[in-house]
Structure 1
Amino acid sequence: MQEKITKNADGTIRSLSNRHVQMIAIGGTIGTGLFLGSGSTISKTGPSVMLVYLVLGCFFFLMMRAIGEMFYADPSQHTFVSFISKYLGPTAGYFTGWSYWLGLLFASMAELTAIATYFAFWFPNIPSWIVEVAFLVVLAAINLIAAKLFGEAEFWFAMIKIVAIVALIVTGIIMVFSHTSTPLGHASISNITNHFTLFPHGSFNFISAFPMVFFAFQGIEFVSITLGESKNPHKVVKKAVNETLWRIMIFYIGALAVIMAVIPWTSITPDKSPFVQVFTLAGLPAAAAIINFVVLTSAASSLNSIIFSAGRHFYQLATEGRKEGFMNRHFGKVSKNGIPSAAILISAALIFITPIMSVSNSVSSVFTIVAGSSSDMYIIVYLLTMVAHRKYRASNDFLSDGFKMPGYAITSPLTILFFFVIFASLFFIPGDVVGAIGAIIWSIVFCGLVYLKERNSKAYA
């Protein structure tokens, strides 16, 4: 049976246990934005931010069910992008693979920059580039040794985030039930309901919160990339995907509810971490240092996951190319320890560009524009994934008794429509317009170049 496989045909090893994958799934659900950026979304929308998280959480859960259904039918694939190649054709897969991989690289650069910033909290005199190089070397080494070591590192990174959120929720509940008095009033559920309105700062701020929360959830699909190297893929995929929604309910909506119960939402400002504020009000003087440690490990976890994911995606791109081609010969290989080492090394090497970004403001500005465009590309990738799922449903690969997406006839088109709406909303938010236009330009130029290449190759065939 497939669950008994310990080694894939390409040499990669199924060494990730259920414990690893489940914690990776939880860690992927919880982003750094919850600890630092939640103050911004609360200040914009008040208690109705919980509705935003719930709506987006439901659609991300449906997307994960679509991805999970395809992986359940074929757990040998290394990335969900491979299903786009399989069901929408090599051109769509090629476009998606390169777009997603480049998006991962820009995300990794942002995370590495964040790591240096958080590290400076304790050691401000150490140059940022030294911190960035040190973290990148260590995390790349973890990825190169064994998938199991990567899984173990992610297990403990995720555990730190979980402990911090559970501590916040427990602390907040105790303060609410004991009606703890703070400089801002009393901790109480009424802090959430007082002066409640769906659009406290206008409908525009409410609508603009959707893309903000969307990007907070971005990367939630990462757990699916571990399935190709997990020991029991059929068992693991069901648990990892099915628990996505309740994780969002507990870790995001639960944490936000507790924060607004302790701190009146009208007193929450975007420039301060609500986590630090709650722990400070609870009498924890080291709150800022503790949360800084949590976000440092969270950023390290994200970078660790990105290196793993980027390596697998580049490997996938290499193996889908011509067997005698440069990519396949140099990056479509697996090392003796079952790792696509060359693909990981080239991905990690390109991340070393990060220290150069601090040289001048112009470089940083260009990076911000390109990173925004690549981030917006994820919406297009998600859309193509959902379309690929529909093609899977119409193919001979469809398992009628498999891990099926619930209410497919309604939920599939609704999810696709929702992602279209999210992308369209970017054009009404000043800060996102450039990124959205950049994503469209990238799509048109890339697809045009691929089309010309294919046409020329046919002409000379």
Structure 2
Amino acid sequence: MESSPKEDDGTAAGPRREYRRALSSRQLQMMAIGGTIGTGLFLGAGTAISQAGPSLIIWYAAAGGLLYLVMRALGEMLINRPSSGGFADYARDFLGPFWGYATAWTYWIMWVTTGMAEITAAGQYVNYWYPGFDQWKTALISLAVLTGINLISVKIFAELEFWFAFIKIAAIVGMIAVGLGVLLFGFSDAAETASVTHLWADGGVIPHGMGNSLMTLQIVLFAYLGVELIGVTAAETKDPQKNIPRAINSLPLRFGLFYIGSLLVILSIVSWQKFAPGTSPFVAAFSMIGIPGAASIVNFVVLTSALSSCNAGGLYATARMLRTASLNGHGPGIFARLSTSGVPFVAVGASAAVMAVGVWVNAVAPEKAFTYITAVSTGGAILVWGVILVAHLRYRHEQERDGGAEPTTYRMPGAPITNWLVLLSLSFVTVLIAWNAETRVALYVIAGWFLVLSLGWWFGGRQRGPAKP
């Protein structure tokens, strides 16, 4: 929807400008594809492979199936009950005002911490070329550049994200093609040891036991962060009735190709025993293949992947959630302000300012920064995905109570049984996060976060009503 010619002062009493539907089908499709390919796969998989071995592929397939069901639940609500605030509005409508407030702010903090992880990864990738360059400096430069881009306009952001995603996709397809060439045609010296038998022969599919293998589910779920971005972009998408289902329905193919396909090829070329924590398996694999300059090219790709995730989720999504909270009366009115180009510029600036904490973490604890930050992000994501599923259950209940009055052109398969199946699975991963001493800090942070949210709600949030148009 085009904006009103009146100026938005960002307050409840002032006129309210809507987002502009500036995202084309081409950009939405590429964002949907690229949004789920980030640091969790390109960097986090190195740690997970060393711990789980080839069984990691099984967990990526299982997690992809669960997240597809989450997105079908969200897609059903987006298509049949459109809302500019996305799943935060559904949480408010079906679970109550507190949950709308808590979901918006939790999604904000989740992506702020994810953005910290991405700029952390960017620092590690740059160290591949310049080992002496401080990690925190790369993080700071990356954050400053991406913030500037997000402040200009949605079109420029979307076009940059389109090319970020294109680079990732082209690179993964190219890597799979080269890997198949090594396996099938004996391409490069790596062909002497490359074999699909690496998937089961080097200590078995689950070499360190089921317990250690299951512990990688936290980093696996982190790799899928961003899949729900489709729900955030709905208000700025052209022809959402057609483009949103198209983007969601393509998820299984994307997960199968980019996650499972790439890992199958890499773990066939190089034994899982060769990968080390903190090293990108993609860079390591192509270093071993011996193609001149290939490792540097792959390192550039994973660097752009980290910047892409920070761009789309860390800044774009967090700013929209801050504005949703503001418009619902659950945050300072100033966050509702839009620039003349339709950008929530105050919210973008606030998110970037908090994300700068990641620069500090990189300065004081660069070795542990990625583990701590990804654990917190995954905990927040589990909560948000759970809220989507429960809100969908309530939506279906209200629909049945009202005699199915609302259209049901796009439905979640197997509901409500599939809702409960995914909720139980997410609860199981939460137990695993608590079990691991290194990731347990995430639950402490989330518990403290909910204490802050509850105090904020008690002293202010519940006393403010939604902003009026």
TM-score interval, normalised by the smaller of the two chains: 0.7 to 0.9
Letter in 2 for 1:33: G
The residue correspondences of 1:57-136 to structure 2 (distance < 5 A) are: 57-123=64-130, 131-136=138-143
Give the C-alpha shift of residue 402 in structure 1.
2.1
Matched, 1:155 2:162: yes
The residue aligned with 1:327 is 332
Matching residue within 359, 374, 377 for 2:380: 377
Q: Would you say the 8 A contact 1:47–1:196 is kept in 2? A: no
Matching residue within 16, 27, 45 for 1:20: 27
Q: Residue 166 of structure 1 aligns to a residue in which SS?
A: helix
The residue aligned with 2:393 is 390
The residue correspondences of 1:149-228 to structure 2 (distance < 5 A) are: 149-180=156-187, 182=189, 185-194=192-201, 197-228=204-235
Tell which deviates more after alignment, 83-92 or 375-384: 375-384
> What is the TM-score with the length of structure 2 in the denominator?
0.86
Give the C-alpha shift of residue 274 in structure 1.
2.5
Q: Would you say the 8 A contact 2:80–2:408 is kept in 1? A: no
Matched, 1:315 2:323: yes
Give the C-alpha shift of residue 375 in structure 1.
3.9
Q: Would you say the 8 A contact 1:43–1:268 is kept in 2? A: yes
Deviations 1:75-120 (A, max 9, x none): 3423322211121111111112122212222222232233234334
Q: Would you say the 8 A contact 1:97–1:313 is kept in 2? A: yes
Deviations 1:161-211 (A, max 9, x none): 112111111011111112457468432323324357443211211211222
Matched, 1:237 2:244: yes
Q: How much identity, in percent, do the aligned residues show?
A: 36
Q: Would you say the 8 A contact 2:222–2:374 is kept in 1? A: no
Matching residue within 336, 340, 343 for 2:340: 336
Structure 1 pair 78/448, CA: closer, same or farther in 2 (3 Å)? closer
Tell which deviates more after alignment, 352-361 or 224-233: 352-361
**Distance of 1:392 and 1:106 partners within structure 2:** 30
Structure 1 pair 115/49, CA: closer, same or farther in 2 (3 Å)? closer
Give the C-alpha shift of residue 422 in structure 1.
1.1
Give the C-alpha shift of residue 282 in structure 1.
3.1
Structure 1 pair 314/454, CA: closer, same or farther in 2 (3 Å)? closer
Give the C-alpha shift of residue 442 in structure 1.
2.9
Structure 1 pair 441/136, CA: closer, same or farther in 2 (3 Å)? closer
Matched, 1:282 2:289: yes
Tell which deviates more after alignment, 411-420 or 186-195: 186-195
Letter in 2 for 1:401: T
Letter in 2 for 1:119: V
**Distance of 2:342 and 2:392 partners within structure 1:** 29
Q: Residue 387 of structure 2 aligns to a residue in which SS?
A: helix
> What is the TM-score with the length of structure 1 in the denominator?
0.88
User: What stretches of structure 1 of length at least 5 have no aligned partner?
Assistant: none
Matched, 1:292 2:299: yes
**Distance of 2:435 and 2:454 partners within structure 1:** 26
Q: Would you say the 8 A contact 1:307–1:344 is kept in 2? A: yes
User: What stretches of structure 2 of length at least 5 have no aligned partner?
Assistant: 5-15, 465-469
Deviations 1:422-441 (A, max 9, x none): 11221222212222233234
Q: Residue 395 of structure 1 aligns to a residue in which SS?
A: helix
Q: Would you say the 8 A contact 2:393–2:416 is kept in 1? A: no
Structure 1 pair 259/114, CA: closer, same or farther in 2 (3 Å)? closer
Matched, 1:431 2:433: no
Tell which deviates more after alignment, 185-194 or 424-433: 185-194
Give the C-alpha shift of residue 453 in structure 1.
5.5
**Distance of 1:368 and 1:238 partners within structure 2:** 34
Matching residue within 354, 377, 385 for 1:350: 354
Q: How many residues align?
A: 449
The residue correspondences of 1:398-417 to structure 2 (distance < 5 A) are: 399-417=406-424
Deviations 1:330-365 (A, max 9, x none): 22122222222222122223333444445545x998
Matching residue within 239, 245, 257 for 2:264: 257
**Distance of 1:85 and 1:138 partners within structure 2:** 34
Structure 1 pair 277/232, CA: closer, same or farther in 2 (3 Å)? same
Q: Residue 48 of structure 1 aligns to a residue in which SS?
A: helix
Structure 1 pair 351/377, CA: closer, same or farther in 2 (3 Å)? closer
Structure 1 pair 269/352, CA: closer, same or farther in 2 (3 Å)? closer
Q: Residue 29 of structure 1 aligns to a residue in which SS?
A: coil
Tell which deviates more after alignment, 98-107 or 231-240: 98-107
Q: Would you say the 8 A contact 1:101–1:314 is kept in 2? A: yes
Q: Residue 70 of structure 1 aligns to a residue in which SS?
A: helix
Structure 1 pair 243/213, CA: closer, same or farther in 2 (3 Å)? same
Give the C-alpha shift of residue 217 in structure 1.
1.3
Tell which deviates more after alignment, 226-235 or 343-352: 343-352
Q: Would you say the 8 A contact 1:184–1:263 is kept in 2? A: no
4+ long deviations beyond 6 Å: 363-368, 454-457
**Distance of 1:83 and 1:391 partners within structure 2:** 10
**Distance of 1:186 and 1:364 partners within structure 2:** 32
Tell which deviates more after alignment, 292-301 or 118-127: 118-127
Deviations 1:251-293 (A, max 9, x none): 0110111112211334444354332233234331323321221
Give the C-alpha shift of residue 296 in structure 1.
1.4
Give the C-alpha shift of residue 448 in structure 1.
5.5
